Amino acid sequence: MATSSSSLSHAKRGRAVAVAAASSAAALLSFFLLVVVLVPQHALNSPISLSSDLSVPPSPPLPPPQAAALMRVAAEKPVSEAEAPGGRDLSMPPSPSPSPWPPSETPVAAVLAQEPAAAPPPESRERRCDLYQGRWERDEEGQYPLYHPGSCPYVDEAFSCQENGRRDLGYLRWRWKPHGCDLPRFNGTDFLERIRGKRLIFIGDSMNRNQFESMLCLLREALPDKSKMYETRGYKITKGRGYFIFKFVDYNCTVEFVRSHFLVREGTRVNGQGNSNQVLMIDRIDKSANRWRRADILVFNTGHWWTHGKTARGKNYYQEGDVVYPKLDAIEAYRKAMNTWGTWIDNNVDPAKSLIFYRGYSAAHFRGGDWDSGGTCNGETDPIKTGAFLESYPSKMKIVDEVINRLHVPVVLLNVTKLTNYRKDGHPSIYGKKLAEGEKVSKRRQDCSHWCVPGIPDSWNELIYASLVLKQHHPQSLR
Ligand SMILES: *[C@@H]1O[C@H](CO)[C@@H](O)[C@H](O)[C@H]1NC(C)=O
Ligand SMILES: *[C@@H]1O[C@H](CO)[C@@H](O)[C@H](O)[C@H]1NC(C)=O
Ligand SMILES: *[C@@H]1O[C@H](CO)[C@@H](O)[C@H](O)[C@H]1NC(C)=O
């Protein structure tokens, strides 16, 4: 392990070194199913992908940390960080894309224990269990949901489906079952032990906030005394704010969220006529990067915002160096931005200390329209069972795969696209808003992009847990 670790620390000097280090590590470890998936993958030219949004509007100066007493105050400040320079409404990420899946409950340790302990045959890499190829199975053991709807104070209104009037519960009773193995049963106490003294941070758009809230709820469930976690400045989670830090007192750790829609920098530029317009600097990392730099576990995503109006049109919007492209295809811009992100990772992350995840594209399920044109998903109570939608893999994800593959720092792709493709039943749809007394649910504007919490994002966090468990058993695999 020391050898492997030090080898990798030199890896930045050259890809050849990285490949050699990874190959030797792989020779020792490849028989463990997830090892390949988790680390040496890019070096081995196996696919790994990540996705994230890095752009973040300028954030306000942070107030000094407040006493725990403040946490209860939940100072709800007016939106201090505009959602975006353009004041775009983010409540709905645009663009559907396919992908579903949830994890299951068998301990990874148990799965690993079943693996042969002898030297791995060379072909064993092909036999590894792909956690992301599988199916959703009915939870017959009553394990799910992992916390009761309405029990967790950190779910914001938009994802509180049951409190907003949703009545069916079947969508909460599925677990993800990879074809070749089982996921470890989520153990929040164990998770907190593993991140003791560390910073876990989610960086991305509102889909990542969705996952962040799920993580807070999963970990809260493990606390005998629920007052032992709090937002350090007393902020309540709303879509209007771009940075949250939750402290877990007994574990001396934090779980944070930083909003960054594109992972690269948003800005404004004054044109020849003296008008200023928004630009996206696809060759510069987002300003919020100073908040991620020293975190221990980073979970990125970006994707949904690349289909919004001016981002999709790409006219006089994308800037590289001093040049604003009169027109640039959004996919090309995405590729450049992801490369900017990847280069930042390689230059700023010490793989011996930090663990990087990229959470892949999460599917949307709009019928008869899109997020901004009347698409719907209400009345869906079951996952998709068959059809082409299940196999679709967005071109942006192929770019993510490519970028991760070329990096020297290992990035774990939480490849949730397929797993989420199945779950047309998991979105808030018409239950994204609390109803006033006597108000009727409106079918007009539906959220078929985000997910109810509890719900599908819990499974993404189970996948993170699975990765931590594996790392514990085979630390080399992450170096
Ligand atoms: C992610 O899953 C899709 C199937 O949904 C697959 O085609 C793709 O190769 C996977 N990516 C990686 C890097 O494993
Ligand atoms: C969860 O993890 C804790 C700490 O590692 C351990 O003591 C406990 O037995 C675990 N619970 C289950 C159900 O495995
Ligand atoms: C808490 O964790 C930080 C590192 O994040 C460390 O510097 C500090 O000493 C820890 N405090 C305690 C009481 O363990």
Residue 78 lies in a domain: yes
Q: What is the pLDDT of residue 90?
A: 33
d(CA 161, CA 238): 16
Number of other CB atoms surrounding residue 24 within 10 Å: 15
**Burial zone of 472 (CB within 10 Å; 0-12 exposed, 13-18 middle, 19+ buried):** middle
Please identify which of the residues 55, 206, 354, 362 carries the catalytic annotation. Answer: 206
Residue 56 lies in a domain: yes
206 belongs to the catalytic site: yes
Q: How far is the CA of 346 from the centre of ligand 2 (A)?
A: 35
Per-residue CA distances from 54 to 96, 207, 406 (Å): 20, 13, 19
- Of 415, 458, 352, 421, nearest to 99 (Cα)? 421
Q: Is 23 in the pocket of ligand 2 (CB under 6 A)?
A: no
CA dihedral 392, 210, 242, 347 (to 10 degrees): -50
Q: What is the pLDDT of residue 368?
A: 82
Q: How far is the CA of 456 from the centre of ligand 1 (A)?
A: 18
Q: Is 189 in the pocket of ligand 2 (CB under 6 A)?
A: yes
Q: Is 46 in the pocket of ligand 2 (CB under 6 A)?
A: no
Q: What is the pLDDT of residue 416?
A: 97
Phi first, then psi, for residue 187 (nearest 5°) are: -125, 100
Q: How far is the CA of 417 from the centre of ligand 1 (A)?
A: 8
Q: Is 187 in the pocket of ligand 2 (CB under 6 A)?
A: yes
Residue 10 lies in a domain: no
Per-residue CA distances from 450 to 78, 111, 138, 431 (Å): 23, 32, 22, 11
Those residues with Cβ within 8 angstroms of residue 428's Cβ, 6 or more apart along the chain or in another chain: 158, 159, 161, 164, 166, 446, 447, 450, 451, 452
d(CA 452, CA 459): 12
**Burial zone of 398 (CB within 10 Å; 0-12 exposed, 13-18 middle, 19+ buried):** middle
Amino acid at the residue 477: S
- Of 336, 199, 357, nearest to 262 (Cα)? 336
429 belongs to the catalytic site: no
Please identify which of the residues 261, 427, 450, 474 carries the catalytic annotation. Answer: 450
Q: What is the pLDDT of residue 373?
A: 76
Q: What is the pLDDT of residue 190?
A: 97
| CA nearest ligand 1 atom 2, residue | 415
Q: What is the pLDDT of residue 344?
A: 98
Q: pLDDT (tens digit, 9 = 90+) per residue, 185-220? A: 999 999 999 999 999 999 999 999 999 999 999 999
CB 11 within 8 Å of CB 18: yes
Q: What is the pLDDT of residue 274?
A: 86
Q: Which two tokens stand for residue 2?
A: 């020391």
Please identify which of the residues 425, 447, 459, 477 carries the catalytic annotation. Answer: 447
Q: What is the pLDDT of residue 440?
A: 80
Q: Is 193 in the pocket of ligand 2 (CB under 6 A)?
A: yes
Q: Collapsing DSSP states into helix, strand and coil, what is residue 415? A: coil
Check residue 327 and report its DSSP letter.
Answer: B
Pocket of ligand 3 (CB under 6 A): 197, 252
Q: How far is the CA of 340 from the centre of ligand 2 (A)?
A: 40
| CA nearest ligand 2 atom 3, residue | 190
Q: What is the pLDDT of residue 438?
A: 82
Q: Is 89 in the pocket of ligand 2 (CB under 6 A)?
A: no
| CA nearest ligand 3 atom 10, residue | 197
Q: Which residues of 169-207 are buried (b: 16+ CB within 10 A; e: fewer)?
A: eebbebbbbbeebbbbbbebebbbebbeebbbbbbbbbb
DSSP-derived secondary structure for 118-156: SPPPGGGGGG---TTSEEEEE--SS--SSS-TT--TTS-
pTM listed for this prediction: 0.76
Residue 251 lies in a domain: yes
- Of 281, 389, 373, 291, nearest to 336 (Cα)? 281
Residue 283 lies in a domain: yes
Residue 60 lies in a domain: yes
Q: Which two tokens stand for residue 317?
A: 């919007």
372 belongs to the catalytic site: no
Residues of the chain with pLDDT under 70: 1-128, 471-479
Residue 151 lies in a domain: yes
Ligand number nearest to the C-alpha of 296: 3
Residue 356 lies in a domain: yes
Amino acid at the residue 417: T
d(CA 30, CA 475): 13
Measured from the Cα of 130, ligand 1's closest atom is: 14
Q: Collapsing DSSP states into helix, strand and coil, what is residue 276? A: strand
Ligand number nearest to the C-alpha of 472: 2
Q: How many domains does the chain have?
A: 1
Instruction: Domain of residue 416: give its range.
Output: 48-100+131-461
End-to-end CA distance of the chain: 8
Q: What is the pLDDT of residue 262?
A: 96
